[in-house]
A and B are shown apart, each in its own frame.
Chain A
Amino acid sequence: MSERILDLRHVKVEFSTIDGVVEAVRGVNLHVIAGETVAIVGESGSGKSQLMMAAMGLLANNGKATGQVDYRGTNLLAISKSQLNDIRGAKITMIFQEPMTSLDPLYSIGDQLIEPIRKHQNLGEADARARAIEMLRLVRIPEPERRMRSYPHEMSGGQRQRVMIAMALANNPDLLIADEPTTALDVTIQAEILELMASLQQRLGMGMVFITHDLNIVKRIAHRVYVMRRGEVVEEGETAELFANPKHPYTKALLEAEPTGRKLPVAPNARKMIDATDVRVTFRLGGGFMSGPPLELRAVDRVSMTLRQGQTIGIVGESGSGKSTFARAVLRLLPSEGAISFENRPIQGLTREQMRPLRRELQIVLQDPFGSLSPRMTAGQIVTEGLLVHEPTISRAERDRRAVQALEEVQLDPSLRNRYPHEFSGGQRQRVAIARAIILKPKVVVLDEPTSALDRQVQKQIVDLLRDLQQAHQLSYLFISHDLAVVRAMADHIMVMKDGTMVEQGTPDEVMEHPREDYTRRLMAAAFAE
Chain B
Amino acid sequence: MLRYVLRRFLTAIPTLFVIVTISFFLMRVAPGGPFNQEKGLNPVIKANLERVFHLDQPLWKQYLLYLNNLVHGDFGPSYNLPDFTVAELFAAGLPISIQLGGTALVLALLLGGILGITAALYQNKPADYAVIATATAGSTIPTFVIAPLFQLFFALTLKWFPVGGWGDGALINKVGPVLTLMLPQLAIVARLMRGSMIESLRSHHIRTARALGLSDYSVVIKHALRGALLPIISYAGPAAAALLTGSIIVETIFAIPGVGRYFVEAALNRDYTLVMGTVVVIAMFTIVFNLIVDILYAVVDPRVRYD
CB contacts between A and B, total, < 8 Å: 83
Bitwise interface map of B from 271 to 307 toward A, beta carbon under 8 Å scored 1, else 0: 0000000000000000000000000000011110000
* A27 neighbours in B (Cβ, 8 Å): none
With both beta carbons as reference points, the residue of chain B lying nearest to A81 in the complex is identified as B216
* Cα A134 to Cα B123 with chains together (Å): 40
Asked, given contacts A101-B203, A105-B205, whether A88 binds B211 with beta carbons under 8 Å apart, the answer is yes
B215 and A119 within 8 A (CB): yes
Majority secondary structure of chain B interface residues (helix, strand, loop or mixed): helix
Least distance between B192 CB and chain A CB atoms (Å): 18
B302 and A93 within 8 A (CB): no
A101 and B205 within 8 A (CB): yes
In-complex Cβ contact of B207 among A81, A102, A119, A153 (8 A)? A102
Least distance between B218 CB and chain A CB atoms (Å): 7
Which of A94-108 touch B at CB < 8 Å?
94, 96, 98, 101-108
With both beta carbons as reference points, the residue of chain A lying nearest to B223 in the complex is identified as A104
B210 at the interface (CB under 8 A from A): yes
B205 and A167 within 8 A (CB): no
Interface residues on A, range: 35 or more
A90 and B213 within 8 A (CB): yes
B207 and A115 within 8 A (CB): no
* Cα A96 to Cα B210 with chains together (Å): 12
Bitwise interface map of A from 67 to 96 toward B, beta carbon under 8 Å scored 1, else 0: 000000000000001101111111001101
In-complex Cβ contact of B211 among A56, A86, A290 (8 A)? A56
B208 at the interface (CB under 8 A from A): yes
* B215 neighbours in A (Cβ, 8 Å): 82, 85, 119
B212 and A88 within 8 A (CB): yes
* Cα A251 to Cα B14 with chains together (Å): 70
With both beta carbons as reference points, the residue of chain A lying nearest to B124 in the complex is identified as A61
Least distance between A306 CB and chain B CB atoms (Å): 44
A511 at the interface (CB under 8 A from B): no
A98 and B227 within 8 A (CB): no
B216 and A102 within 8 A (CB): no
Bitwise interface map of A from 147 to 173 toward B, beta carbon under 8 Å scored 1, else 0: 000010100000000001001100000
Which of B183-211 touch A at CB < 8 Å?
202-205, 207-211
B159 at the interface (CB under 8 A from A): no
B51 at the interface (CB under 8 A from A): no
Asked, given contacts A101-B205, A105-B205, A105-B302, whether A116 binds B210 with beta carbons under 8 Å apart, the answer is no
In-complex Cβ contact of A105 among B123, B209, B301 (8 A)? B301
A93 and B212 within 8 A (CB): yes
Which of A27-68 touch B at CB < 8 Å?
56-58, 60-61
Bitwise interface map of B from 71 to 89 toward A, beta carbon under 8 Å scored 1, else 0: 0000000000000000000
* Cα A89 to Cα B214 with chains together (Å): 8
A26 at the interface (CB under 8 A from B): no
A120 at the interface (CB under 8 A from B): yes
A103 and B205 within 8 A (CB): yes
In-complex Cβ contact of A116 among B124, B202, B212 (8 A)? B212
A116 and B227 within 8 A (CB): no
A98 and B211 within 8 A (CB): no
* A98 neighbours in B (Cβ, 8 Å): 204
B204 and A61 within 8 A (CB): no
* Cα A86 to Cα B203 with chains together (Å): 22
Asked, given contacts A105-B302, A106-B301, A151-B303, whether A87 binds B213 with beta carbons under 8 Å apart, the answer is yes
Asked, given contacts A58-B207, A103-B208, whether A88 binds B223 with beta carbons under 8 Å apart, the answer is no
B211 and A58 within 8 A (CB): yes
* Cα A81 to Cα B216 with chains together (Å): 9
B61 at the interface (CB under 8 A from A): no
A85 and B213 within 8 A (CB): yes
Q: List 22 A-B contacts (CB under 8 A).
A: A57-B210, A82-B215, A84-B213, A85-B213, A88-B213, A89-B214, A96-B204, A96-B207, A96-B211, A101-B203, A102-B208, A104-B209, A106-B226, A106-B300, A106-B302, A115-B212, A115-B218, A119-B212, A151-B302, A164-B208, A167-B208, A168-B212
Q: State the 5 A-B residue pairs at the shortest beta-carbon distance, nearest first.
A: A89-B213, A89-B212, A101-B204, A116-B212, A104-B205
Beyond the given A88-B213, A105-B302, A290-B7, could you list 12 further A-B residue pairs with CB under 8 A, ordered by the A residue number? Answer: A58-B210, A85-B213, A88-B210, A96-B211, A101-B203, A104-B223, A116-B213, A116-B214, A119-B213, A120-B213, A151-B303, A167-B208
